[in-house]
Structure 1
């Protein structure tokens, strides 16, 4: 039986302290802020990130440094037979493609999973991989299971401000101005590789209702469950405003009382493109 190490990146929302408790490794994502490099959860906290974002700092995302990836794999392979590496969705970053190319030189000892996950759904993939490794599955078997079920998740995100979508070129300045005037709250979705538009709401309350109804629809129509999400993990994420997220959490708990709901900050790599005050609801189909 192979001894398999599990690696992910900080886009999963798993902190360094949580990684230690889980027995996994988390590569911190690098960010350039006013041309200086920071590493998420190493020398860049959630609070610092949002303070810099609010101050108008020039923030750009970057892939993990190749040397850091290789050094981590080499270190783990002195104690483990194989490594399963679970990066963020290949549709949102080039880090998955880079890792896949690097793994070729490891002759099957490193398997990179491309299962289109981000944030809380990526976190669940990591926990699933950890359980599969504990059951004696090889890196190749874990990769196949996670990739075969890569579309078994949904994320809906309410954007609180249009400023960052405009800044990133995802909407035009005119559309942003009209949307701001009408107080629109766009709801975005991730059901696979990309972050796409889903609906427009006229209030936070309406956006929350849209997301919950969309989730119930997916439970039944996409995943063959019921409106309570039997056999599904239900997850929440947010950017910046934990107080509003806690209120949303309580509202969702009332609608899905049987669910054990996980809530984490949304990945900073997504947050810098949508800004603070966003709320997200997500689900992942259980493997067991």
Structure 2
């Protein structure tokens, strides 16, 4: 079995970055004014933020089908017979289906793992898969480990309003219903239980109380110093830094990394969004 490991730009990393890891990546598409751009290739986070500030409508979609087919054809020519993919979750995108369809058309075996989110945990999972394979683990062992990582993860979003998410159709009905409530800060999340769709966790009156709710949620699900904790933001660095400090004080030994929220998510959450992604990485799994 000769395996090619494949992901997409939902990780927040470019094709060049992943090529250095021996992993293939496909850019998700961002449409602006009728033009389609490759995420992390010819449209970057600062560009997306400028469009958000200017209230320019944007749409996101899966990688170009032709580019998927071209990549898989080239992989087949190089002698690969199996595609092992960890794309952006199926609850947010149809990328997984497109990858599987392209692989089947070319007679390639396809192994696709749903990360039930995107961003850092997506990248962690594809890296773990490649490392484990190179260390001699079986496919079954790799799949079990990736599912354990995904199961440990919760991605929690605090947004100022739900208009972007409602328009994109990426909310569960319960979460979408919160959009009609006034003076409410919805706490949203996506994980294995929600099948990667954005669902409502709670509704509170202030952003401070929403952050407190998230911290209590992290404690309840067992997040500790062994977890990888990411705080992401959409052009709200100062607020994200203060949020990170609250989490550090609440969870002993917590090490937190601050990042910009990936473009294909921030387009749907809008400016000011704060997100936490917490998961137990491969090295800390028992």
Equivalent residues of 2:231, 2:258 under 8 A apart: yes
1:224-259 Cα distance to aligned partner (Å, 9 max, x none): xxx5254x3322222232332233223323333423
Residues 260 and 6 (structure 1), Cα distance of their counterparts in 2 relative to 1, 3 Å cut: farther
Give the 5 Å matches for 1:1-288: 2-77=1-76, 78=78, 80=80, 82-137=82-137, 142-143=142-143, 145-147=145-147, 150-165=150-165, 167-168=167-168, 176=179, 178-179=181-182, 182=183, 184-192=184-192, 193=195, 194-219=197-222, 228-230=224-226, 232-287=227-282, 288=285
Equivalent residues of 1:5, 1:82 under 8 A apart: yes
Paired with 1:278 and 1:101, the residues of 2 have a C-alpha distance of 34
Paired with 2:81 and 2:98, the residues of 1 have a C-alpha distance of 22
Residues 165 and 65 (structure 1), Cα distance of their counterparts in 2 relative to 1, 3 Å cut: closer
TM-score, normalised via structure 1 length: 0.82
Structure 1 stretches lacking a partner, 5+ long: 220-226
Paired with 2:179 and 2:3, the residues of 1 have a C-alpha distance of 47
Runs ≥4 residues deviating over 6 A: 171-175
Corresponding residue SS for 1:14: coil
Residues 140 and 36 (structure 1), Cα distance of their counterparts in 2 relative to 1, 3 Å cut: farther
TM-score, normalised via structure 2 length: 0.83
Deviation at 1:9, TM superposition (A): 0.8
1:129-158 Cα distance to aligned partner (Å, 9 max, x none): 132122134556534542465433111111
Deviation at 1:38, TM superposition (A): 1.0
Deviation at 1:5, TM superposition (A): 3.0
Residues 108 and 258 (structure 1), Cα distance of their counterparts in 2 relative to 1, 3 Å cut: farther
Q: How many pairs does the alignment contain?
A: 276
Residues 174 and 74 (structure 1), Cα distance of their counterparts in 2 relative to 1, 3 Å cut: closer
Paired with 1:44 and 1:82, the residues of 2 have a C-alpha distance of 30
Say what the alpha-carbon RMSD is for the aligned residues.
2.9
Corresponding residue SS for 2:188: strand
Deviation at 1:174, TM superposition (A): 10
